Amino acid sequence: MSSIRHRNLVKVITSCSNLDFKALVLAYIPNGDLDKWLYSPELSLTFVQRLGIMIDVASAIEYLHLGYSFPIVHCDLKPSNILMDEDMIAYVGDFGIAKLLTEEQRMEQTKTLGTIGYMAPEYGSTGTVSTMSDVYSYGILLMETFTGKKPTDEMFSAELTLKKWVSESFRGDIMQIVNNPLLNSDGEIGISKYEKCLIISILQVALECVTEIPNLRLKMNDVVSKLQKIKTEFLP
Residues carrying an active site annotation? 76
Query: Would you say 90 and 83 are in contact if contact means Cβ atoms under 8 Å apart?
Result: yes
Q: What CA–CA distance (Å, rounded) separates 192 from 214? A: 35
From residue 160, how far is each of 155, 156, 219 by CA, in Å? 8, 5, 26
Dihedral class, residue 127 (left if φ above 0, else alpha if ψ from -120 to 50, else beta) = left
Neighbour-count burial of 125, counting CB atoms closer than 10 A to its CB (0-12 exposed, 13-18 middle, 19+ buried): exposed
Q: What CA–CA distance (Å, rounded) separates 86 from 162? A: 31
Q: What CA–CA distance (Å, rounded) separates 168 from 75? A: 27
